[in-house]
Structure 1
Amino acid sequence: MTDTHDTNLPEKAVELEEDKKTAEVPEPATTETSAEETITEKVEEPAPKLTKEEILAKLKEISENVENSTKTEIDGLKQAFYKLHNAEQEGLKNQFIENGGAAEDFVPQADPVEEEFKNIMSVIKEKRNAANAELEKVKEMNLQIKLSIIEELKELVESPDDANKNYAEFKKLQQQWNETKPVPQMKENELWKNYQLYVEKFYDLLKLNNEFREYDFKKNLEIKLHLCEAAEKLADEPDVVSAFHQLQKLHQEFRDTGPVAKELRNEVWARFKAASTAVNRRHQQHFEALKEAEQNNLDQKTVICEIIEAFDYSELKNFAAWDSKTQEVIALQNKWKTIGFAPQKMNVKIFERFRKACDEFFQKKGEFFKTLKEEMNANLEKKRALCEKAEALKDSTDWKNTAEVLTKLQKEWKTIGPVAKKHSDAVWKRFIGACDYFFEQKNKATPSQRSVELENLEKKKAIIEKLEAINEQDDSKENVQQVRDLMKEWNNVGFVPFKEKDKIYKQYHSLIDKLFEAFNLSASNKKLSNFKSSINSIREGGTQTLYREREKLMRTFENMKNELQTYENNLGFLTASSKKGNSLLTEINRKVEKLKGDIELVKQKIKVLDESIQNEA
């Protein structure tokens, strides 16, 4: 009997050493779990796109069932709410500044939805604190229970009674241990080691026959194979985070399950470990992808900040330039709203940088418009003074001297800057109306004008006959030069009778267009030549019509310049941030070149008008 006992003990010791290895093998999963849980806490999972009211509704649901909600979910909803809230306040502030207010004078408006949000968050916080406190109590109670289980195991090990008789009590204590779940984390490893120590000692003392051990091993094998299957299925779980948390529960069950037959232990553990590795790898890749996406979001937001910070405010000297930049800022703000969260440690910093850049833009815009308003008011007073002078002269019959004075007033008008749009048309109509009235009366008082106009009509008819005689099939230098000479001659001929003006002008331009097309002359030269030939028609309305035409061209010139600046800004933006394909860049470059040509043509037209006005003076 003694020999048998001595002979079996070494075998038992070896088997129980294997039991110990098997029991302790899953422990690294706990360390792995802690690392993964740390990642879960640090990485912010983006909340779905919701309105403030929808966020409020979800938080109300959570407040009714706090224990089933995670801190990550609540923090995500909180961040999404304040992103919407801050965007609304930012919009109100920008509107306030655009209406002429100073940024430092803006007072955020009370938001009743925010008040309700704070109340709900307060309720959630209280309930979570209460739940956590209750959980700590449970953990402490469980700690005491497990400590008492260890004490009872110790008594079984030290009991002089036959260990076989204590087997039922031992299994009961094992079941009780497995059913007692959470304990304080700092006590968990030490508790587990003490438990395993006495379990192993009990097995060392236990003289189980093969039937008992095989039955025990068989039941444990069934449980562990089931856990392997469950772990393997988690590889196909769509929710990667949920799969990871489910795996932690399986690890705990695996660890709490007793040993299997010696020859199967490595095989079963290898299978469970392989399934665990697949789930952990997916979980790690999931958060790495999240981090990469958040870094990409940060890069995009940084580019937007750099674009606004790089604005050269010294170049924004008129309303159109500021309006163009404002539209660009609004477009960038809208783009910002479509970009997701940046990494948590940078999310607030990059938003503060963006808000600072926008605040600076709208502050400088407010300052510019305040100064511009003062300048436009001064310009309005100057133009009203010119109106009064023109109105005082409009009934004069001193034709020559008054015409000279009014012409000087029109030149002075050109030197005065812009006025507010609501006054611009009215003050211009008032001024030009007085000038027009005088020059109309002057024309009526000149009886010889009719004979001169008839003479000019005959000259222009002669020019048309010469143009008709040119062979359009012969594009020799002589013919091209003859066309240019006749066009110049046409431009030097004065007014024709008003009734004949449209007919003779249409006939002339029809011929010129035909010859230009035949001789393949440039479109810009053609347009400029047509404009030169129309100067006399414009001049028929008096010098004031030349001024009116010049003012219209100046407005066109300014609009084109602003449009060109916008295109050039867009080119810079595409190169710096979005890096679109060559086709888009090529199209914008084509538009830029065409616009430059149009601007040059308008400048030439203004030059022609200035020469005509000078000749009239």
Structure 2
Amino acid sequence: MDNDKLFEQSSDTEQENINTTEEAVEKQEVVAELPPVNEEDFVGLDKSELVNRLKEVKDSQNFRYNDEFLKAIAPHFNALRKSERKEALAKYLEEGGEADGFEFHGDEFDREFDAIFTTLRERKQKYYANLESSRNENTAKKKLLLKQLRDIVKADEDEKSIEAVRAIQAEWKKVGQVNIAENEDLWANYKALLDQYYDRRGIFFELKDLDRRKNLTKKQDLCAKAEALTAIEIVEAVRVLNELHEEYKNIGPIPREEQDAVWDRFKAASDAVYDRRKVYTDEIRKEQEANLVLKKAVIEKVKPFIEFNSGRITEWNQETKKLQELQKEWDGIGHVPREDAKEINKTFWGLFKAFFNNKGQFFKNLEEERGQNLKLKQALVEKAEGLKDSEDIDSTANELKRLQQEWRKIGPVPEKFKDSVFNEFKAACDHFFNRKRQKNEVVEQEFKANLEQKLALCDQLTALAAEKPTSLEPLQEIQAKFEAIGFVPRSDINSIQQKWAESNAAYLEAVEGIDEKEKQRMVLQAKYQRLKSGNDRNAAHKAEQDLRKQIQGLEDEINTWNSNLGFFARSKNAEALRAEYDKKIEEAQQKVKALRAELRILQQA
């Protein structure tokens, strides 16, 4: 009877230590695998970015974390979806639709978000359904083992019974979690039946002492492993310690006289890890508070941007680039204390959105202005169309030239109408001036005389080039005379322009002490003057279109590279890649500058 009491007291003490250990582990647990969920992380993201963030937990099995993540991200996505639906409904009603007939199907981002959202919910439901089923099966298995053990206890003792009991004990340990409501009763019945069985055998305490000695060795090994955790990184140390506590809890009782010493040793090793964890969390807190100061400083830099205003696209783009640099600075700063995160993110992204709202309004106004320019140019097209068949040659020619001058003064039109409206206007002007040329055959002799004068100027320029000139003044004087001379015969336009270009090139090549940029400018000017006065009336327009396409292509690449820079991680390799992109952007910007200068030369030629 005394031995039985001793066994009960030892078991109760061991179980109390295990429960205390489990509570401590739960309180000290650190989740290192996933970052904390901050609702502020989703502020300002568009639907595409929110879907990409949701994909981060698509395969996660941490259902508590998944629930927090979905709870944080869903309101932001649903707000965007609601806004889009509201806009779609308003547009539908403006177009004459009835509210009862409106249907909103969303886009691919809506469907992808809902699919991932549903998958996570269904996976959680399936997991807990399977867990409940598994617990029911394990409960049934343990009840069967209890029946088998009860039959052995009731039966007469034989030599094979101890092996059967040990087999039941081994199987009992293999069985997983059971229904919580039945766990204590199952364990109590199992322990009572074992006590009854060993009481009936004279070797009960001998076997129990042997098992406890084995358990002592196992727990001492766990103590050594816990003590070795001081040598590894703290987050990993806490994770491993949690596993050691779970293992310690599932090891059976040890000799009573060793219980306190072993437990004190294991607890001391655990406390050492938890003390390190406290230091680690304190350091994290200090770092977050320092980050808060840095982010507040960035906000102060952003505030002036909401007051910016300009009528020039380039200045808006320059300010945008500066703001994007501040965004990179913001993104490069780490987390802030949780209690401050929501407010500071709200402030920063509120300022950020305000700037882009102002920029959007600027471009909206710009588009309206270009629409007005289109109407003005369409009115000039109508006037040119009305004049193209006029028989009053001189007066009509002057009027069309006036319309052409007025055309040049009007600003740009929407890109999609630029070519069509220009071609219409040019076609009407060309139609008239072709008629004018045909009706003025008598002027052909004058054209021939003009040709002779221009050939003489070409020869004069070539002769000057042979004298190694040191100034552009002779060239400019001859160019002025050349441009002042009227038309030449149509058949000689290309040849005289070719000869004139060669003479200019020869002179520019020979002149000494003149800036190369100025030479290049004059070469381009001569080139485009030749294009505009050549037989191919569309040559200059085609050249202008080609320059614009090159500029647009480079600007698109610059925008793409600038966007890509925002996704680079802050690492040594990323810095090298960022430097490479910065170099590409700088070279492309220089090329755009040169092309724009060439475009101005073409337009002024």
Provide TM-score, normalisation by structure 1.
Answer: 0.54
- Structure 1: which 5+ residue stretches go unaligned? 1-21, 60-68, 136-180, 182-210, 610-617
Q: CA deviation at 1:519?
A: 4.2
Query: Which residue is 2:522 aligned to?
Result: 529
Among candidates 404, 424, 429, match of residue 398 of structure 2: 404
Query: Which residue is 1:226 aligned to?
Result: 221
Query: Which residue is 2:431 aligned to?
Result: 437
Q: Deviations over 1:82-109 (max 9, x none)?
A: 4995698499689979x9999xx99895
Query: Which residue is 2:380 aligned to?
Result: 386
Equivalent position SS for 2:29: helix
Among candidates 12, 28, 39, match of residue 36 of structure 1: 28
Contact 1:560 1:595 survives alignment (8 Å):
yes
**Structure 1 CA distance, aligned partners of 2:289 and 2:93?**
36
The yes-or-no answer on 1:243 pairing with 2:240 is yes
Q: How does 1:195-344 map to 2 (within 5 A)?
A: 222-231=217-226, 242-249=239-246, 273-274=268-269, 277=272, 281=276, 310=305, 314-315=309-310
Relative distance call for 1:315 and 1:560 in structure 2 (3 A) is farther
Relative distance call for 1:124 and 1:426 in structure 2 (3 A) is closer
Q: Which amino acid aligns with 2:501?
A: H
Q: Which amino acid aligns with 1:277?
A: A
Greater relative CO (CA pairs within 8 A, separation 6+):
1
Q: CA deviation at 1:333?
A: 11
Equivalent position SS for 1:408: helix
Contact 1:456 1:494 survives alignment (8 Å):
yes
Relative distance call for 1:256 and 1:42 in structure 2 (3 A) is farther
Among candidates 459, 468, 480, match of residue 465 of structure 1: 459
**Structure 2 CA distance, aligned partners of 1:376 and 1:369?**
10
**Structure 2 CA distance, aligned partners of 1:106 and 1:519?**
74
Relative distance call for 1:340 and 1:82 in structure 2 (3 A) is farther
Q: Deviations over 1:510-540 (max 9, x none)?
A: 3543553454644432343234445764664
Q: How does 1:134-213 map to 2 (within 5 A)?
A: none
Relative distance call for 1:86 and 1:255 in structure 2 (3 A) is farther
**Structure 2 CA distance, aligned partners of 1:583 and 1:571?**
12
Q: Which amino acid aligns with 2:430?
A: D
Query: Which residue is 1:413 aligned to?
Result: 407
Q: CA deviation at 1:434?
A: 2.0
Contact 1:89 1:108 survives alignment (8 Å):
no
Q: Deviations over 1:323-361 (max 9, x none)?
A: 999999999999999999987556666775677567656
Equivalent position SS for 2:398: helix
**Structure 2 CA distance, aligned partners of 1:398 and 1:293?**
82
**Structure 2 CA distance, aligned partners of 1:306 and 1:83?**
30
Query: Which residue is 2:445 aligned to?
Result: 451
Relative distance call for 1:216 and 1:593 in structure 2 (3 A) is closer
**Structure 2 CA distance, aligned partners of 1:539 and 1:216?**
105
Among candidates 498, 505, 509, match of residue 513 of structure 1: 505
Contact 2:289 2:337 survives alignment (8 Å):
yes
Q: Which amino acid aligns with 2:443?
A: Q
Relative distance call for 1:50 and 1:276 in structure 2 (3 A) is farther
Q: CA deviation at 1:406?
A: 1.9
Instruction: Report the structure number with the largest CA radius of gyration.
Output: 1
Q: CA deviation at 1:506?
A: 2.6
Equivalent position SS for 1:443: helix
The number of equivalent residue pairs is: 491
Query: Which residue is 2:470 aligned to?
Result: 477
Contact 1:560 1:599 survives alignment (8 Å):
yes
Relative distance call for 1:426 and 1:25 in structure 2 (3 A) is closer
Provide TM-score, normalisation by structure 2.
Answer: 0.54
Contact 1:298 1:342 survives alignment (8 Å):
no
Larger mean Cα displacement after TM superposition, 236-245 or 422-431: 236-245
Contact 2:454 2:482 survives alignment (8 Å):
yes
The yes-or-no answer on 1:500 pairing with 2:492 is yes
Relative distance call for 1:295 and 1:280 in structure 2 (3 A) is same
Q: How does 1:504-583 map to 2 (within 5 A)?
A: 504-519=496-511, 521-533=514-526, 537=530, 540=533
Contact 2:37 2:72 survives alignment (8 Å):
no
Q: Deviations over 1:137-157 (max 9, x none)?
A: xxxxxxxxxxxxxxxxxxxxx
Q: Deviations over 1:382-440 (max 9, x none)?
A: 33332232222222222222222222222333344444444443333332222222222
Sequence identity (%): 22
Q: Which amino acid aligns with 1:249?
A: E
Q: Which amino acid aligns with 1:465?
A: D
Relative distance call for 1:367 and 1:598 in structure 2 (3 A) is closer
Contact 2:461 2:478 survives alignment (8 Å):
yes
**Structure 2 CA distance, aligned partners of 1:562 and 1:113?**
33
Contact 1:390 1:406 survives alignment (8 Å):
yes
